[in-house]
């Protein structure tokens, strides 16, 4: 019976770990979309200033305030999500099992030495490139 209890504990732990990974992935996706939203707001703000200058006028106070409010809110959302991702990463490191990290470091060392002997370099981009047609969350959607 002790084996079955141990198996149940390990399966529960694996399920929790998988759920945390899914949750973190969801937050990272939200962060990516929030960054895209900031870029879109900044681009629209730039176009509005450019078009006003091109027409020989200044950007109106209400329009300027609206663009600044949109950018400020979008940047605050990015900061909030970055904080969540950082906390999640810190929690993941704190929850790492000592016996699992020792065995994984041994396998990591052997795989990294195999990579270095073969000359293969692994580079992972920090975030995927922006895609056309991706949607942001409802509250972050630019006016239009």
Q: Say which residue the tokens 């006003």 belong to.
A: 52
The answer to the question of residue 62 being in a domain is yes
Is residue 134 assigned to a domain?
Answer: no
Query: What is the pLDDT at residue 138?
Result: 41
Interval 29-58: pLDDT, tens = 999 999 999 999 999 999 999 999 999 999
Number of structural domains the chain divides into: 1
Tell me phi and psi for residue 102, to 5 degrees.
-70, -45
Taking alpha carbons only, the member of 76, 66, 51, 78 closest to residue 143 is 66
The reported pTM is: 0.59
Tell me the C-alpha distance between 24 and 142, whole Å.
Answer: 25
Residue 94 is predicted with a pLDDT of: 84
Task: For 71-125, write each residue's pLDDT tens digit.
Answer: 999 999 999 999 999 998 888 888 775 555 444 444 444 444 444 444 444 334 4
Residue 78 lies in a domain: yes
Residue 109 lies in a domain: no
Q: Dump the DSSP string for the chain.
A: -HHHHHHHHHHHHHHHHHHHHHHHHHHHHHHHHHHHHHHHHHHHHHHHHHHHHHTT-PPPHHHHHHHHHHHHHHHHHHHHHHHHHHHHHHHHHHT--HHHHHHHHHHHHHHHHHHHHHT------SSPPP-TT----GGGPPP-
User: What is the rounded average pLDDT of the residues 115-144?
Assistant: 43
How far does the chain reach from its first CA to its final CA, in angstroms?
A: 63
Domain residue limits at 59: 1-94
- Considering the domain boundaries, does residue 6 fall inside one? yes
Whether 123 is in a domain gets the answer no
């Amino acid at each position: 019976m002790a084996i079955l209890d141990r198996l149940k504990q390990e399966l529960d732990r694996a399920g929790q770990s998988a759920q945390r990974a899914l949750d973190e992935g969801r937050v990272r996706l939200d962060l990516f979309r929030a960054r895209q939203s900031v870029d879109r707001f900044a681009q629209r703000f730039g176009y509005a200033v450019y078009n006003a200058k091109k027409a020989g006028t200044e950007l109106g106070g209400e329009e300027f305030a609206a663009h600044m409010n949109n950018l400020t809110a979008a940047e605050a959302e990015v900061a909030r999500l970055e904080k969540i991702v950082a906390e999640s990463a810190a929690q993941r490191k704190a929850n790492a099992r000592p016996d699992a990290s020792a065995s994984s470091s041994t396998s990591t060392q052997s795989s990294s030495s195999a990579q270095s002997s073969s000359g293969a370099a692994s580079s992972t981009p920090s975030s995927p490139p922006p895609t056309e047609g991706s949607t942001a969350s409802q509250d972050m959607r630019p006016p239009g």
